[in-house]
Amino acid sequence: MNKRYLILLVSFFLLMTGASYTVYAQQAVTIKGRVTDAASKDGIPGVTIIDIKNNKGLGVTDPTGQFIIKVEPDKTIQFRYIGYRFETLKIGKATVLNVTLTPENKSLKEAVVVGYQKRTKETVSGSVAVISGKDLQDVPVSNIQELLQGKVAGLNIQNNSGAPGFRGTMSVRGVSQLNVSGSGDQAYLASNNPLLVIDNVPVDFDGGISQSMLQPGAATGPLALIPPEDVQSIEVMKDAQATALYGSRGANGVIVVTTKRGNSPTPIIDVNSSIFVNFPPKLRPTIGGNAERRYRINSIFMNARDEQDVRDILAKPETQFLTDSLNSFYNNSTDWQGLFYQTTMNTNNNVQISGGNIKMNYKANFAYQMNQGVLKNTGFNKYSLNMQLNMQPSKKLRIGAQLFSALGQKQRGNGGGLTDNGAGNSFTTSLLPGPSKFVGNPQLDGYENNIDDNNTVNFRGFVDVDYEIINNLRINSTTSYDYYTDTRDQFKMSFSNNNATRLYGFVGRHDELNTRNGVNYSYSSNKKDLEKGNNIYASVFSEINIKSDDQHVRDVRNGPNDYYWGPRGYSPRFYPGNVWNNASEVNVNGTPVSYVYHAASWAGFLSYNFRTKYSVDLAYRLDGSSAAGINNPYTKNPSVGFRWNFNKENLMRRLSWLDYGSIRTTYGVNSRPTATILNSLGVYKSVPGYNNANSIIPEFDVLANPSMEPEKSSQFNFGVDLGLFKSRVEIIYDTYYKNNYNLVRDAYLPNATGYNKMQVNGGAIVNYGHELSITGRPIVHLNPKGFQWTVSVNGAYNKGVLTELPGGSQFYLSIDDRNRQSIALKVGRNPQSNYLFQTDGVYRNTSDVPVDPIRGVRYKANAGPGSQFFQAGDPIWRDLNGDYALSDADYMIMGNPEPSVTGGFNNTFSYQNVSLSIFCTYLLNRSILNNAIAARVYRLQAPYVTDYTGNNLDGPINLYDISKLDYWKRPGDVASRPAIVGSFYHDALVQPNRLNQSLVMEDGSYFKINQITLAYQFRDFDFMRRLKLRVLRAYFTAYNVAMFSNYSGPNPETVTSLGRDDINGYPAASSFTFGIGAQF
Amino acid sequence: MRKWYKIGIILFLLAGAGACKKFLEVKPLDTLSGKDFWKTKQDAQSAINGAYVILLNKFTRSILYNAGDFRPGNWNWFGKDNLRKLGQNLMLNTGGGDGADNPQDWKEFYQAIALANLCIDRIPGIADPNFGNREKKALVAEARFLRAFIYFYIARMYGDVPLQTDPYDTKLLPREKMLTVLEFCLKDLETSKADLPLSYDDPTNRAVRGTQGAALALMAHINMWAAGFDKANEQKYWTQTAVLGKAIMDLNVYKLLPYTKETFLTIFKGRSEEGIFELSLDANYGGKFHSLICQWTLHEPYIHDNIGGRSEITPMIRHLDRIYPRGESDKRLELWFYNPYNTDQTPMFLKFSAITDPSSRDYDANLIFFRYADIILLRAEALAYLNQNVESIKMLNLVRDRAGAKLYVGGGGKPLQDAVFLEREKEMMGEGHLWYDLIRTGRISDKNALENSLTPEQLERGAWTWPISGDAVKNNPLVTRNAYWIQ
């Protein structure tokens, strides 16, 4: 009975896979032999023997290098061992095979794609890090970027939002920007996005989001749409030489993603399927119910002026109910925070079909992921299909084509995606009953019912033709077209939007045509062995890039009904896309206005190496772009690099412990276009006419600057690569000095020019640092099934220094009107600093407050008339100018939102069929402003405010659990925090718990366990043979496992790029995944 | 051969990128950039109009137009505290009501100047076949006229002002001496005035755009203002004014319209034959204005006043009696004043009463800066100083005659000068001239002529000016504020 079922199932699978299998005519024979090292003639144990056609293991050599395998005589087999060149043999009649393997360093022979050219790593002088696609599996994240965290030294990724479909910040070698957008908790640094190249096609990092601020529009970027299962490798290029050929967009580094290609004579079907559960994080500590009532009433009693004052306060409509504890309507303990979160069950599926040989190969990858967010009404679904076909009809001609299509569907719920999610603010007091059939809560209802659907449709195709026209001389042409449609449909019901419905629709079209034509020439005086000849590689190409972004917005308010989502027409009054109303080029919804961009570039590259020992790389690229100032549309990007593989020197060859060793040094200049036609030529706008005639005036906000130049960066890099003890230890070290100059800043003009500001070049930031990656294999068992341990650690130290501001100014303060947490730009310090009052403790007693010896009065909280003298329980704010009054002059530059050190720490263990990998990341020395807690503590001084709106004390209404705080309670207390409430009237002026003080600033160092994966590889099971399963593995992954930090907020990573912890930020969810991967 | 053919293909491919600079010049999808502007005659015209709009907006956002009437303080203010502060020279305490502190910011004036500078720079280069040389010259001259007008206006407000004449200059400029600025304007007008049209074919443009007459009137005003500050050259300035005044009269474009109950309103509605330079404000064209004198000097049934048929400010009887001696008939007293001698809030000043909407108290008459009667009296004043008494009296009596007042028969010298001044005070009441006339003639220290008289010491320290807002100093350390207002 059972067996019959199994047969049925097998036949079903056979039908499914569509593969037909013939019975083997050949009889397997037994083959014996020995594998030896070519130099030492010693036997090599643990060499894997593989049947190439079926990609299946046949056996392993024993400790003396001997092997016995059973195989059909017509098979081709391969001997593989780490650190040796693979040896492929066709089995003829022989029954005894003696094989010699020659040592070779794989990591140097690895092909990398630099400047659109495939080269072996050992001749590349630039700093290139490679991440294998294998390291990006087993965890279904919504954006592959999350998985790159901690994998490459110098690539700093902070997943500062857990919102599905969105992404965090990414920067290569420190910040290279000075501009800040947003304010308060939501102040963001302009992006430092590297250039993204997918399968040799440069694409926009954010797809349709051209907004650099991380408050994105409808669009979903390309990295979120690529399934990790389809990734072959990701290369990260950090220095100027590696990025030189990418021209004007390479100044922030380049990330090259290569997807898988077919490479198997028999078709391979890979199926990967997993289910995963997202768990909300720990909620913020809150007191509710009776504790809340007690706190509020006690606080009012303690801090009011007198009894009459208490009566007055408690008689207000919004506080009256506090005293009504017998009324069951007002006697609840509702957990509002929890109402916004959910645990979700999701799924991730990927099927890949591939096959072919070098003459023709194909691949199709289909992926589907459903990822519901831990905040209600948010989530991300994606579907993608990536098809690739490569042909080589003759030796001279190669043709490749690819079509990628994807649909990303994002639900943003009530928030902006990254911020403003509302769940951090519990909207009302816990004393009120929770939402039920009879009692609604407008905010929560709106939160659950408001619609915000964002769809991105992406098509990207390319055709690549390469033809050898004369010996060694190939011409090639690559053309790609990338197209996005982004739509957003948002509808807010009237009760959640100030009593007016709001229908907002957005359509964005973004397309990019890129075509590259070139010639390349390669010559070697000794083709057989490059290590014995002079090798030259040269190429010249031109590149044309045409990009446009066309955005339309409709915004209709005051609709007739909460269920009538219309009319979807045009509302001239609230039409934010209307550029005439839009002074800053950015409409009110944060999406930029449409643009067209043209670029034409010419590049030349020459690489020469002598016996692959000494290499020289020279590159030059000239970029013309419509985004440069009209007076100088061209920018030059030259670079030079040297590499010395010193292990190839005869002297070094004798060192048996040295596998390889090389020294690299490069220098180059990159640029980044920043001007737009608008800031180089000015904008004119129509205004109400004069005397009934048309009137047009310039946009007086920005004066055109026709001589604007691109931002530039020059970079020096020095690196060492070392492989020691037969690949047991591999070390990569890089040090760099990168000068970002010509940075564009707003220069404010005297108002007698009529204009407000002009964008000028003149800012400069220097970044320098060290990067170190060490991979070690402390335990290598000769038998691949034995216990193996690989550990890799990487770390990058980066220091940024602001070296120049336009016009020779030394200091610039970008004032934060909301929290007074301004950002200081001071030449000679880190690019951005906080600007706060220094808190030196808490006054234990009023007698501790310093007294002005001249006037005999205490230090007070304000300069000028009016007096609120400091008293016991107030923070000791440093009086920098010694005038015994706290004023603007007492602000201090402090802190640095950029981390000093970032890195990763990874371990992989395997034994028999089980493998365990643990990926960790860490960050050291970063200042975070813990506004999430500070705002809630600040709010505690107003116990009488019970509704979120209608007061000026920003912050959530739920009460912070003060028992967790070490605050001053009575005279004589030694406490780290000031009194929560001194007295209402005192605090109004002194604001002991204000946000603009160093008390709020904390160190955000952390160590995070990103991912733990336990996998089981099924081997040699009977059912696998019957199901024709080549590979079957099952895995369990825990993602976002733990965060170790002294930071008092919930998560030091989910803060903005300027280190502001926004209580309404989207928290990072933890997830548990169970998945199966199978290969047929 | 074949090899060369192949190499040819390669070179073609590489060059195919199109080394063309045109490719790099793109057009924004939805924005009008500087590249696409300044192409046609229409663009030039729109830009000039834009400069007028900016200037007009500056006036419609504040009480600036009537500040010249209010600052002498010759009104009963009742509840209008912000205006009372103007009339007491407490300029820093006016508050923002009715835009009373808006004139302290000169930004918009400079925006209009920047646009005029752009017009002067860009219009000659426009290659539009329909745009003839004469038309270009006329538009450039119009831009120069407008620029000079603004400089004249702000010099009277702030004294020394930065002189911006290059649209692309972002250098920090200090405040230039007022007389240097005025001299620059006079020269500029002298060379360009001939390019301006005498009048426009389109009747709607009458008086509301630059003309030769307007340029001459501006020059006359600049001369008279300069004469008040440059005592050494006052003879020269007076002579100039007299000559310019004559030139305007000789243009034969303007005439004095009769003062009757029916017709006087059309003069002050604007665009009349008497108007020389005005800013157009017409409800039919979407323009209307709030903070003008009539809002406070009228009540029901003209406008809805909210306080039971009472005016918010009324003329002081003391000053009415000074300029209109009791018993002497004058059509202006009869036509323009309602109940003038009542001491309650019922009196009205009716000179401006083109109300478009009584309930929102909006008004849509042009802002009149130069008027024929104004120029005649200016000429009379200059002639009086120059002792050309016969001609001066003739001018004076042209205006008195039209108003039905008895003709001046006195002699020259001081009595004539006083008579001409009184006549200007009467004739130009509500048109924003009095304060400036008082300053330039030195009568500002005369306690009888105004409530808000200034001592010579106060004058010296710039008490007659407006305070300059902090924004002007913010990004330019070279700009200093007027001494009187910063202590």
| DSSP symbols for A678-736 | HHHH-EEEEEEEETTEEEEEE-TTEE--TT---EEEEEEEEEEEEEETTTTEEEEEEEE
For residue A901, with 0-12 CB atoms within 10 Å meaning exposed, 13-18 middle and 19 or more buried, which class applies? Answer: middle
Any A CB within 8 A of B23 CB: yes
Task: List the single best residue of B13, B113, B151 to mutate versus A (max A Cβ within 10 A).
Answer: B13
C-alpha to C-alpha distance for B152 and B179, rounded to whole angstroms: 10
Tell me the chain A residues in contact with residue B170 when contact means C-beta distances shorter than 8 Å: 703, 747, 749, 753, 755, 758
**Structure confidence by residue, pLDDT tens digits, B403-425:** 999 999 988 889 999 999 999 99
Identify which of A595, A596, A698 has the shortest CB distance to residue B118. Answer: A698
Q: Do B18 and A696 touch (CB under 8 A)?
A: no
A198, amino acid identity: I
**Structure confidence by residue, pLDDT tens digits, B6-65:** 666 666 655 554 555 677 777 666 667 777 788 889 889 999 999 999 999 899 888 899
Q: Do B286 and A688 touch (CB under 8 A)?
A: yes
Identify which of A579, A697, A758 has the shortest CB distance to residue B50. Answer: A697
Q: Which residue has the higher pLDDT, B334 or A73?
A: B334
By C-alpha distance, the chain A residue nearest B42 is: A694
DSSP letter at A73 equals T
C-alpha to C-alpha distance for A416 and A438, rounded to whole angstroms: 30
Q: Do A753 and B43 touch (CB under 8 A)?
A: no
Question: Which B-chain residues 187-246 have CB contacts (< 8 A) with chain A?
Answer: 204-205, 208-209
Question: Which B-chain residues 445-484 have CB contacts (< 8 A) with chain A?
Answer: 471-472, 474-476, 479
As given in the structure block, the two tokens for residue A766 are 């220097």
Distance of CA B229 to the CA centre of its chain: 20
Any B CB within 8 A of A548 CB: yes
Any B CB within 8 A of A815 CB: no
Q: Do B114 and A754 touch (CB under 8 A)?
A: yes
Any A CB within 8 A of B158 CB: no
Sign (positive or negative) of CA dihedral B361, B366, B367, B373: negative
User: B30: closest CA among A549, A873, A442, A929?
Assistant: A549
Give CA angle at A910 (A906, A915), nearest 5°. 80
Tell me the chain A residues in contact with residue B24 when contact means C-beta distances shorter than 8 Å: 598-600, 624-626, 628, 633
A108-122, A1031-1045, B110-124: the lowest-pLDDT one? A108-122
Is residue A130 over pLDDT 50? yes
Got the DSSP string for A623-634? EEETTS-TT--E
Q: Mean pLDDT throughout A968-987?
A: 81
Residue B421: its pLDDT value, please?
94
User: A934: closest CA among A1045, A796, A1048?
Assistant: A1048
Rg from Cα positions in chain A? 32
Any A CB within 8 A of B277 CB: no
As given in the structure block, the two tokens for residue B295 are 């809002």
As given in the structure block, the two tokens for residue A513 are 């045509």
Most confident of A207-221, B104-118, B346-360: B104-118
Count interface pairs A-B at CB distance under 8 A.
Answer: 207
Any A CB within 8 A of B4 CB: no
**Structure confidence by residue, pLDDT tens digits, A708-722:** 888 888 999 999 988
CA-to-CA dists, residue B355 to B294, B362, B366, angstroms: 9, 6, 12
Q: Is A1041 helix (H, G, I), strand (E, B) or coil?
A: strand
Q: Is the Cβ–Cβ distance between A446 and A966 less than 8 Å?
A: no
Q: Is the Cβ–Cβ distance between A674 and A655 less than 8 Å?
A: no
Residue B198: its pLDDT value, please?
92
By C-alpha distance, the chain B residue nearest A760 is: B170
Q: Is A896 helix (H, G, I), strand (E, B) or coil?
A: coil
C-alpha to C-alpha distance for A240 and A638, rounded to whole angstroms: 9
Residue A216: its pLDDT value, please?
52
Is residue B231 over pLDDT 70? yes
A127-131, A1063-1067, B430-434: the lowest-pLDDT one? A1063-1067
Number of other CB atoms surrounding residue A584 within 10 Å: 11
Alpha helices in A172-289 (DSSP H): 222-225, 240-243
For residue A1046, with 0-12 CB atoms within 10 Å meaning exposed, 13-18 middle and 19 or more buried, which class applies? Answer: exposed
Residue A557: its pLDDT value, please?
60
Q: Is A409 helix (H, G, I), strand (E, B) or coil?
A: strand
C-alpha to C-alpha distance for B229 and A545, rounded to whole angstroms: 63
Is residue A775 over pLDDT 80? yes
Q: Do B30 and A579 touch (CB under 8 A)?
A: yes
Task: List the single best residue of B4, B5, B49 to mutate versus A (max A Cβ within 10 A).
Answer: B49
Residue that the structure tokens 């939007």 belong to: A497
Tell me the chain B residues in contact with residue A624 when contact means C-beta distances shorter than 8 Å: 21, 23-24
As given in the structure block, the two tokens for residue A573 are 């009054």
To which H or E segment does residue A9 belong? Answer: helix A2-17
At residue B185, φ and ψ (nearest 5 deg) are -65, -45
| CA end-to-end distance (rounded Å), chain A | 26
How many helices and strands in chain B, by DSSP H and E?
19, 9
Tell me the chain A residues in contact with residue B472 when contact means C-beta distances shorter than 8 Å: 750-752
Distance of CA B310 to the CA centre of its chain: 30
Q: Do B14 and A748 touch (CB under 8 A)?
A: no
Q: Do A633 and B49 touch (CB under 8 A)?
A: no
pTM, rounded to two decimals: 0.79
Give CA angle at B344 (B340, B350), nearest 5°. 35
At residue B380, φ and ψ (nearest 5 deg) are -60, -40
Any B CB within 8 A of A583 CB: no
In terms of phi and psi (left: phi > 0; alpha: psi -120 to 50; beta: otherwise), the region of A318 is alpha
Is residue A598 over pLDDT 70? yes
Identify which of A682, A692, A696 has the shortest CB distance to residue B33. Answer: A682
C-alpha to C-alpha distance for B338 and B318, rounded to whole angstroms: 16
At residue A41, φ and ψ (nearest 5 deg) are 65, 10
- The C-alpha of B206 sits at a distance from chain A's nearest C-alpha, in angstroms, of 10
C-alpha to C-alpha distance for A962 and B168, rounded to whole angstroms: 59
Is residue B5 over pLDDT 70? no
By C-alpha distance, the chain A residue nearest B116 is: A697
Q: Is the Cβ–Cβ distance between A764 and A804 less than 8 Å?
A: yes
Distant-in-sequence, close-in-space partners of B450: CB < 8 Å, separation ≥ 6: B72, B73, B74, B319, B434, B438, B443, B444
Q: Do B23 and A696 touch (CB under 8 A)?
A: no
DSSP letter at B12 equals H
B382, amino acid identity: A
Any B CB within 8 A of A623 CB: no
Tell me the chain A residues in contact with residue B13 when contact means C-beta distances shorter than 8 Å: 475, 477, 517-519, 542
Q: Mean pLDDT throughout B174-183?
A: 94
Average pLDDT for chain A: 80
- Most distant pair of Cα atoms in chain B: their distance: 114
Tell me the chain B residues in contact with residue A747 when contact means C-beta distances shorter than 8 Å: 170
Give the bridge partners for A550, in sequence order: A509
Identify which of B17, B29, B107 has the shortest CB distance to residue A596. Answer: B29
As given in the structure block, the two tokens for residue A81 are 């061992």
Give the bridge partners for A507, in sequence order: A487, A552
- The C-alpha of A545 sits at a distance from chain B's nearest C-alpha, in angstroms, of 10
Confidence of residue A1025 (pLDDT cuts 50, 70, 90): confident
C-alpha to C-alpha distance for B472 and B487, rounded to whole angstroms: 17
Is residue A21 over pLDDT 80? no
**Structure confidence by residue, pLDDT tens digits, A70-105:** 877 777 888 877 667 777 877 777 777 788 877 665
Residue B238: its pLDDT value, please?
95
Q: Do B49 and A698 touch (CB under 8 A)?
A: no
CA-to-CA dists, residue A392 to A112, A353, A389, angstroms: 21, 20, 10
- The C-alpha of A795 sits at a distance from chain B's nearest C-alpha, in angstroms, of 42
Residue A183: its pLDDT value, please?
58
**Does the structure's ipTM exceed the value 0.85?**
yes
Task: List the single best residue of B170, B208, B281 to mutate versus A (max A Cβ within 10 A).
Answer: B170
% of chain B residues with pLDDT over 90: 54
User: A256: closest CA among A242, A239, A240, A237?
Assistant: A237
Give CA angle at A299 (A298, A301), nearest 5°. 65
CA-to-CA dists, residue A981 to A925, A973, B89, angstroms: 32, 15, 46
By C-alpha distance, the chain B residue nearest A687 is: B50
Q: Do A690 and B52 touch (CB under 8 A)?
A: yes
Q: Mean pLDDT throughout B434-456?
A: 92
C-alpha to C-alpha distance for A190 and A674, rounded to whole angstroms: 12
Task: List the single best residue of A623, A748, A753 to mutate versus B (max B Cβ within 10 A).
Answer: A753
Is residue A1020 over pLDDT 90? no
As given in the structure block, the two tokens for residue A252 are 């922030």
Q: Which residue has the higher pLDDT, A140 or B220?
A: B220
**Structure confidence by residue, pLDDT tens digits, B357-399:** 888 778 888 899 999 999 999 999 999 999 999 999 999 999 9
Beta strands (DSSP E) in A297-394 are: 344-356, 360-372, 378-391
Is residue A584 over pLDDT 60? no
- The C-alpha of B31 sits at a distance from chain A's nearest C-alpha, in angstroms, of 7
For residue B68, with 0-12 CB atoms within 10 Å meaning exposed, 13-18 middle and 19 or more buried, which class applies? Answer: buried
